[in-house]
Structure 1
């Protein structure tokens, strides 16, 4: 992926006023391997620390300085970064790129930064961006639907984060209406179970484009079944269980199942993922233990693994 970084980056008044680490971090955010075409993407701290070869303290110090300079926004709850001038210097140039941008937005967990991004896009004042603006309006919370009016204990629906991409403490899952015909949940495009099902679908297709998967359509009964299995995996865990996985953990299960040579040939549906989730989890832990104990592991890798383990304990897992 190509990103335009103008030479005047180094003469910019704000860049000249910050430390070397802050300039380096800003350049990293513009060219990160995790970025997308809109400069609004999922970036957990361990990812960035590993890429930069920094420890957590160094990263957080530079991040705070960037935030104070007003160059970026970062949602620490769901680990999403917004580079404010990214689209100004890397504009979308055709309808296909706008469609791609909308797809990228669908992958971002619920975050207040959607409102900031919407304002940025509006200020650019490009007719080409109209579909993007319309989609962003759909992603914003509707009046009267916030979680602050609930009468429960404050724990919401339990949707601490989002699977595609996930992050902890995300807003409450959107209301899932009932299917009038079957009286069963109909999972919408904005619901975490649906996004988890789509993520598994896409990972399977990456490995084998001929694989039998549901259509990317909320009306597809098979996709609804997959979403239902993801919902059960989240609430209940394996069949017969009563302890579910958070959305970070579910994404980890999906990624491991599709990255592993053995499991990618066996996990070809949401139902199979749920059936084998405990075996997948156990093997993931064994692999992580072997990596931590490897005598030739670099200091950078070891540091990243410690950060991931820390955040798993504190926030319920990382994707």
Structure 2
């Protein structure tokens, strides 16, 4: 049986705490649903979300828009039906290994909207994973992108810091 681990720190994240109960539930669903992947980017339709969560399609659309616009925790490509979890690496990227890296390479190569890879990559904290993601980004990460990553890492105080 497949499972996803939800870190306890998830519940103490300021953005998570400021969400409504329904938005929090939807976000947790997006992190753990059967379509979710090892890379934080995967295909899912709003109809599939509706079926799993029990929310009406209008509610699903409104909450997705809120997670994009108000909280900036996801990105969604309407054309490719791909969703990206911004800080997927913070809560899900625990350890690597050859098998994990090969799985991630395969999944990254299948992403249609490469801007979603960049979106997730900018929040990856582990060097080995960031190196992997940058091979599939839609643009080369600039000196300033890397400096921003280093700045964020230097200000991190949680257990996920490299």
Structure 2 partner of 1:157: none
Secondary structure of 1:74's aligned partner = strand
Task: Give the structure 1 partner of residue 135 of structure 2.
Answer: 135
Unaligned runs of 5+ in 2: 141-162
Matching of residue 101 in structure 1 with residue 104 in structure 2: yes
Which residue does 1:71 correspond to in 2? 73
Partner residue of 1:85 out of 84, 87, 91:
87
Partner of 2:160: none
Question: Could you tell me how far 1:69 is from its partner in structure 2?
Answer: 0.5
The Cα of 1:134 is off from its aligned counterpart by: 5.1
Cα separation, partners in 2 of 1:115 and 1:13, compared to 1, 3 Å? closer
Q: 1:39 deviation in Å? A: 1.4
The count of aligned residue pairs is 137
* Structure 1 residue runs of 4 or more that deviate by more than 4 Å after TM superposition: none
Higher RCO, 1 vs 2 (CA within 8 Å, ≥6 residues apart): 2
Query: Normalization by structure 1: what TM-score?
Result: 0.39
CA change 1:104–1:13 in 2 (3 A) is same
Deviation at 1:13, TM superposition (A): 2.1
Partner of 1:105, secondary structure, is helix
Highest Rg: 1 or 2?
Answer: 1
Runs of 5+ unmatched residues, structure 1: 143-319
Residue 42 in structure 1 maps to residue 43 in structure 2 = yes
Q: How does 1:1-319 map to 2 (within 5 A)?
A: 1-67=2-68, 68-91=70-93, 92-121=95-124, 124-127=125-128, 129-130=130-131, 132-133=132-133, 135-137=135-137, 140=138
Deviation at 1:61, TM superposition (A): 1.4
User: 1:78, 1:109 within 8 Å by CA — same for their partners in 2?
Assistant: yes
